[in-house]
Amino acid sequence: MNTESLAFATPQESLGILLGLVRAEIVRAMETELAAKGLNLSFTQFLILKRLARLGPMSASELARSVELDGGAMTRQLDHLEGKGYLRRCRHEQDRRALRIELTDAGNALWTQLVDCNERVLTAAQRSLSEAEQAQLQDYLERVLHALRDKS
């Protein structure tokens, strides 16, 4: 180039941008890991599977809320994941409006692979932070989140 106005990188970013950059890198890294295993999953799909694996069966809207995904978008992701055979839409016993989304055996099997990817990426991302610092980072982020949500 010429003017050498290095606009890239991260020169004292404001929080909003910085968060976006970090998140984008994590998403990218995760999807790369997944692709390396021959898995064709988006980060969103990974999150959905993670929730189900961690918290067990739940309704589509609970799932949507927990991942901050729109209900409509969730319906379509469920279509994909059900199509791939990783989960099942069952009837909800107490509420006939709702579904009970549960992992299939294939879904559970898949999860064991995903744990791995997840682990590797998070470890790599935080490798320059001590255990204490990692905990602190998490704490700070949670406090920021609460501050934004409770506009008290």
Alpha-carbon distance 66 to 95, whole Å?
19
Contact flag: residue 150 with DNA (CB under 7 A): no
Residues 64-93 that bind DNA (CB under 7 A): 64, 68-78, 80, 89, 92
Contact flag: residue 25 with a second copy (CB under 8 A): yes
Sequence-ordered alpha helix ranges (H) in 9-104: 15-36, 43-55, 60-67, 71-83
- Radius of gyration of the CA atoms of the chain, in A: 19
Contacts with 85 (C-beta within 8 Å, 6 or more apart), sequence order: 104, 106, 107
- From the list a second copy, DNA, none, which binds 60 (C-beta under 5 to 8 Å, kind-based)? DNA
Alpha-carbon distance 135 to 3, whole Å?
41
Task: Give the contact letters, 55-74, x = binds to a second copy (CB under 8 A), - = no.
Answer: xx-x---xx-xxxx------
Give the nearest distance from C-beta 87 to DNA in angstroms. 12
Closer Cβ to a second copy, 6 or 38, answer by number? 6
Binding site for DNA (CB under 7 A): 1-2, 42, 44, 59-62, 64, 68-78, 80, 89, 92, 95-99
